[in-house]
Structure 1
Amino acid sequence: MTFDLLAQDPATKARAGCLETAHGAIETPIFMPVGTAGTVKAVSQQTLKEDIQAQIILGNTYHLYLRPGLDVLRAAGGLHQFNGWDRPILTDSGGYQVYSLSNTRKIKEEGVKFRSHIDGSQHLFSPEGVMDIQRVIGADIIMAFDECTPWPCEYDYAARSLDMTHRWLQRCIQRFDSTEGLYGYQQALFPIVQGSTFKDLRIKSAEFIAAQGREGNAIGGLSVGEPAELMYEMTELVCDILPKDKPRYLMGVGTPANILENIALGVDMFDCVMPTRNARNGMLFTTQGIMNVTNKKWANDFTPIDAELGGPASTFYTRAYVRHLFQCQEMLGPQIASAHNLTFYLWLVKEARKQIVAGTFAPWKERMVKQVMTRL
């Protein structure tokens, strides 16, 4: 995997780059739709590729390990063959799911023992095991196994967790470097910076992660309930330490405003369930602001959802029709809304990239942050 830095905004730390993987190039900054179980909810692979023009999607190690299971994925030839997506894939290590299963898991040096949310069966995720699982899944970019601490978090706990995450990383690297991909192409391993919202821990972690010399780096443990200002402060601190010639991935973030502000701080890659999860409840993100399409005010609005975006979901269907679908609980409503929101998110990072290359990102960002978060 290679990363070429192509442009830098003169007034911010925003960057435009190109990430080359075994399954194609990714133009950064980029938003990655979340396909937890090998599918982006309510959106087909054809729609993702042809209409939304997604360049990379996510899969989740924890969920894919449980279903369909490693035997099926190995027999299929990996996730790309299983779900028919021929562009890049990134897999989370399952660390966040372990974090969210706090009532049914035990964290020890060996790894994490947890009970399946499906049938209650017991499992162990170790750093070595998570590397092996992600080899079977076959994603282009795989994540190191870490502990995502909650917020707020006691300093002593965050410090102990961070040290363990670093020890786990060394075990991940050893296992990854001593094995080969299973399907004839190379995979890249991204370590994850942790440290909660404590400056000294974030600095310690960023320096440790930078010293590993991997092909890219991630920032975890944010967007877990902390104020946005703290997120930005930690992100800027970490980005100033992580190598400039490697892609930076801020995990699980976020709103359109979060994405724009973090691009300005030097982040290249984002993912979040927000565009599809909120879409299923009728919340639509547009170039003019945020709308709840189920509100009665849209009942006689026969204009497209967002004519500025392009893409069938945004320009073909009217607001009144989509509202009607939600009122009738027709499954087409969430499908259209999900495709539209992802079209918007991909438009947002693509437009940000254009502005970075043109050297006009800073004033555009200030205007867009206010515009896209306006309630319509």
Structure 2
Amino acid sequence: MPELPFFDPLLDPPALPQIDRLPVRGATVEMIDLDKVAAHVKRADELQRLADEIPRAPLPYLLHTECLMPIDDTLYPTLAGLLCFGRDPQAILRWAVIDLAHYRGVQPVSYELVHLGKNVGGTLFDQLEYLRRYLWTYTQHGMTIADGFQRVDLHEYPEVVIRELGVNMLAHRDYTITNSQARVMLFRNRIEWSNPGGLPEGVTPENILRKQYSRNPVIQSILYEAGYVEALGQGLDTVVTVLQREGLASGVANPTFEDLRDTFIVTVRGRPHDEFYTAGVFADLKKQQRKLFEFIQQNGEVATPEIVRKFDRSESAVLRDLRALITAGLVEASGDARLRRYRLARPLSAAPPAE
């Protein structure tokens, strides 16, 4: 039997309707890292996100926020306490891990796999930092010149979108599901955030921006205190607003929401890769070369015969344009002769290191 958070005999179920407030079977107070708690309280105080009535000392703070639950003469860590401040949360919550898969193209196929982070553990803060660092490092960054010759930084995905979707996934995860992990998949043209559990009753993809809900209110409150959320209950609204402001939702639904009952998926599409290449290189491309570049961009990776069929051109003409794109640093090739495949090269402005 899995070590699920328990109700009886220690607690009366109606007293604690949210799962993250429940004590975890077999957990002890020694599993909580009080140094992590003290550091969190200090940061939350600096951010002015702690109400006056919340204690600042670690143990009183944990009790006040329901990260510890007193039962008779024993303190039991709750699910929220272990996930946010545990020394090794997965020692007892083995399923509370995330997976991250990075694919070169646009489909989740094994030969396109670039990186697989499997069963990434630690606290929720550790998992969020892992996601942020990887996604920020391996997505595109550059700049352009706006009117008035002002430099404008460009990012494939705004950092706030990466952060808010990570928080949304972990804060609203159904931690009673022990046979499925939260999963993030990075493709050439999108990121998919997949959460086990589906949406709560009454919440649908159509009304999710209007109907506020919180599956794990203690966890969500702690993430707010730490500065991971700008305002409680407005994470997805923030994502939509930022994508619209950045021009990434013009004429297309972005992000999209899909509820499969046992899984909830948020998909966000990033800035087109061709915006990250220098204007000078693009200005020198011929019309057919631009079309060829766009075709490779849309499909992730293509072979010469696919291009010939698509554009109804001779193979020699296609190869000539491909060589021009490779020389310009826009496309790279792998494989030999007719088995050779082409994909976009990394933009001329490399991603800045994640801090």
Which entry has the higher C-alpha Rg, 1 or 2? 2
TM-score above 0.5: no
Greater relative CO (CA pairs within 8 A, separation 6+): 1
